């Protein structure tokens, strides 16, 4: 895919245009010039720049009016506004409306270069998203990469800034919200993009097996170790290691992980040779690590080692405006995969999609739509979504009006888990699957909220 490196520089002062032209040229960009907002609009139509850096106060047409008109026709263009000290509030307001960033005059060359680099990185991310949408077989399309809500734009901005670095990233968010997708996007836009992207689920295996999975083992290290096996750290050398569900690591493994983060070296299980690795760590969790630190369940030093750059992926219910986009995308995708006509989604069904709270987030939405597409006869209506209809009709979660944020969240979480246990007759395996969390995490929550006795009695009767 050809990279668009065109930048349009818009300022009524010749000296400023010349300076920015030289900065852009030396940075390897193809620069074009305009003297006012009207020329900027005309140039944008002709050259289709990836980035525009534009002064706010200009004759004929100022930068704000030009920005609004360009944004309406070319929403993917990253616009950087330049402003004097007295109009900073105006630039900030423009950012809220979609401007990428702003610079306060006079700006030094280094600052300009940094902002331009971030803007082009963001543009490359958006172009990658557009390309991924055409790859129907690529499961990494399933996620919030198509979201256009304000909260997701902030996520993209953070991804654009951290991707070119080697910084450790901690991605938080509910299960199914797209944490792995964000990790993959960071890797694909980093200098390590040609290296491996290795994933390990920290909650999938018991401690003994998890240690050998991460660090590998030598022949004879334990019964069944008939040969040497490299661990995930070795396999991820010069690439990225994605530690999913990092909050599930036991204390001994937390110690070992901390050492690797600090020293970038380790020994295989049963071995004495010290192995050095060049690996970028991206961790993800749906648990509150800060709270676990306070309770002594997660090492504080490891927490801060992982949280160099935090990224929170918002749940689907906090970006309802994105739901119609997801519905349209998934309906078309699953219809193509099933070799069927794209069904029509009724307005009533779409309204139900918006009202439903989506505890499983985008992953749950995809599953619901895949089933609906397969079972539909050309139209997806409310009658085709019995699970959502029942949930929407059930009593709403009661949100306490008083208490700290942590206390309120605890009360809400307790209600959700209690309702899920009841819906699955106390079966913890099915409840964990429905909530899309590990069984270990569910057992921890059941004990924490005092739901154990009821769950145990009902589970034994069912299982």
Closest by alpha carbon to 171, among 314, 278, 357?
314
Mark whether 102 and 117 lie in a shared domain: yes
Contact criterion met (CB below 8 Å) for 246 and 260: no
> For residue 284, what are the β-bridge partners?
171
Q: Report the alpha-carbon distance of residue 364 to residue 160 in Å, rounded.
A: 27
Contact criterion met (CB below 8 Å) for 37 and 65: yes
In which band, very low, low, confident or very high, does the pLDDT at 291 lie, cut at 50, 70 and 90? very high
For residue 83, tell me if it sits in a domain: yes
Examine the pLDDT at 102 and tell me if it is beyond 50: yes
Q: Which residues of 182-196 are buried (b: 16+ CB within 10 A; e: fewer)?
A: bbbbbbbbbebeebe
For residue 117, tell me if it sits in a domain: yes
Query: Model confidence over 382-422: pLDDT tens digits?
Result: 888 877 765 555 556 667 767 777 778 888 888 888 888 87
- Give the lowest-confidence range in 57-61, 125-129, 185-189, 305-309: 125-129
> For residue 52, what are the β-bridge partners?
8, 79
**H helix runs in 78-108, sequence order:** 88-96
Q: Report the alpha-carbon distance of residue 448 to residue 248 in Å, rounded.
A: 16
H/E stretch holding 102 reads: strand 101-104
CATH no. for residue 417? Answer: 1.10.10
Last residue of a domain, one of 288, 312, 336: 312
- Give the lowest-confidence range in 138-142, 237-241, 303-307, 388-392: 138-142
Mark whether 249 and 323 lie in a shared domain: no
The number of CA neighbours under 13 Å toward the Cβ of 160 is 25
Tokens encoding 31? 């620069």
Contact criterion met (CB below 8 Å) for 41 and 66: yes
Q: How far apart are the first and last CA of the chain?
A: 53
Mark whether 62 and 98 lie in a shared domain: yes
Mark whether 305 and 183 lie in a shared domain: yes
Contact criterion met (CB below 8 Å) for 24 and 116: yes
More confident: 432 or 139: 432
Examine the pLDDT at 2 and tell me if it is beyond 70: no
Angle, in degrees to the nearest 10, between helices 179-188 and 109-132: 120
Last residue of a domain, one of 128, 149, 178: 128
Q: Are strands 216-217 and 229-230 parallel, antiparallel or unpaired?
A: antiparallel
Peptide bond connecting 106 to the previous residue in cis, omega within 30 degrees of 0:
yes
CATH no. for residue 231? Answer: 3.40.50.300
Mark whether 106 and 187 lie in a shared domain: no
Examine the pLDDT at 317 and tell me if it is beyond 60: yes
pLDDT given at position 325: 83
Closest by alpha carbon to 316, among 177, 149, 180?
177
Domain encompassing residue 427: 405-462
For residue 151, tell me if it sits in a domain: no
Mark whether 304 and 181 lie in a shared domain: yes
Please give the model's pTM, rounded to 2 decimal places: 0.55
Q: What is the mean pLDDT of residues 236-254?
A: 93
Examine the pLDDT at 63 and tell me if it is beyond 80: yes
For residue 144, tell me if it sits in a domain: no
Q: What is the mean pLDDT of residues 130-159?
A: 59
**H helix runs in 314-395, sequence order:** 323-337, 347-355, 361-375, 386-393
Average pLDDT of the chain to the nearest whole number: 83
Say whether 4 sits in a helix, a strand or coil: coil
pLDDT given at position 46: 92
Binning the chain into helix, strand and coil, the percentages to the nearest 5 are 55, 15, 35
Residue with the two structure tokens 């349009």 = 8
| Maximum alpha-carbon separation in the chain | 81
Last residue of a domain, one of 264, 284, 312: 312
Mark whether 279 and 206 lie in a shared domain: yes
Q: Report the alpha-carbon distance of residue 226 to residue 244 in Å, rounded.
A: 28
H/E stretch holding 55 reads: strand 51-55
Cβ-Cβ contacts under 8 Å for 281 (sequence gap 6 or more): 168, 169, 240, 241, 243, 261, 306
Query: Model confidence over 159-186: pLDDT tens digits?
Result: 888 999 999 999 999 888 889 989 998 9
Mark whether 385 and 413 lie in a shared domain: no
For residue 63, tell me if it sits in a domain: yes
Contact criterion met (CB below 8 Å) for 369 and 330: yes
CATH no. for residue 327? Answer: 1.10.8.60
Report the number of distinct structural domains present in the chain: 4
Examine the pLDDT at 198 and tell me if it is beyond 50: yes
């Amino acid at each position: 895919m050809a990279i668009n490196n065109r930048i349009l520089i818009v300022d009524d002062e010749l000296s400023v245009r010349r300076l920015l032209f030289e900065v852009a040229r030396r940075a390897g960009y193809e620069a074009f010039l305009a003297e006012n907002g009207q020329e900027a609009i005309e140039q944008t139509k002709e050259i289709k720049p990836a980035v525009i850096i534009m002064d706010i106060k200009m004759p004929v047409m100022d930068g704000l009016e030009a920005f609004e008109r360009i944004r309406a026709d070319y929403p993917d263009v990253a616009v950087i506004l330049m402003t004097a000290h007295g109009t900073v509030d105006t630039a900030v307001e423009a950012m809220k409306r979609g401007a990428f960033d702003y610079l306060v005059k006079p700006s030094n060359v280094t600052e300009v270069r940094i902002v331009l680099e971030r803007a082009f990185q963001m543009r490359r991310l958006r172009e990658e998203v557009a390309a991924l949408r055409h790859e129907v077989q690529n499961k990494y399309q399933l996620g919030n990469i198509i979201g256009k809500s304000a909260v997701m734009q902030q996520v993209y901005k953070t991804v654009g800034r951290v991707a070119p670095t080697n910084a450790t990233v901690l991605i938080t968010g509910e299960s199914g919200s797209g944490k792995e997708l964000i990790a993959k996007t960071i890797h694909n836009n980093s200098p390590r993009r040609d290296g491996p992207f290795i994933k390990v689920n920290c909650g999938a295996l018991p401690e003994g097996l998890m240690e050998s999975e991460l660090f590998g083992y030598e022949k004879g290290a334990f019964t069944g170790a008939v040969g040497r096996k490299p661990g995930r750290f070795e396999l991820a050398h010069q690439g990225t290691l994605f530690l999913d569900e990092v909050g599930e690591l036991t204390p001994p493994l937390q110690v070992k992980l901390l050492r690797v983060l600090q020293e970038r070296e380790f020994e295989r299980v049963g071995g004495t040779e010290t192995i050095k690795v060049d690996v970028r760590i991206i961790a993800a969790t749906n648990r509150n690590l800060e709270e676990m630190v306070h309770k002594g369940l997660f090492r504080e030093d490891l927490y801060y080692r992982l949280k160099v750059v935090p990224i929170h992926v918002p749940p689907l219910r906090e970006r309802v405006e994105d739901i119609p986009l997801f519905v349209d995308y998934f309906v078309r995708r699953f219809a193509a995969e099933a070799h069927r006509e794209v069904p029509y989604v009724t307005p009533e069904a779409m309204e139900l999609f918006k009202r439903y709270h989506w505890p499983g987030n985008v992953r749950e939405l995809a599953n619901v739509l895949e089933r609906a597409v397969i079972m539909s006869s050309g139209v997806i209506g409310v009658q085709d979504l019995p699970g959502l209809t029942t949930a929407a009709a059930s009593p709403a979660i009661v949100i306490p009006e008083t208490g700290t944020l942590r206390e309120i969240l605890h009360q809400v979480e307790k209600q959700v888990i209690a309702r899920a246990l009841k819906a699955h007759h106390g079966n913890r395996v099915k409840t964990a699957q429905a909530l899309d969390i590990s069984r270990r995490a569910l057992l921890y929550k059941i004990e924490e909220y005092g739901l154990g006795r009821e769950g145990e009695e009902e589970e034994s009767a069912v299982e």
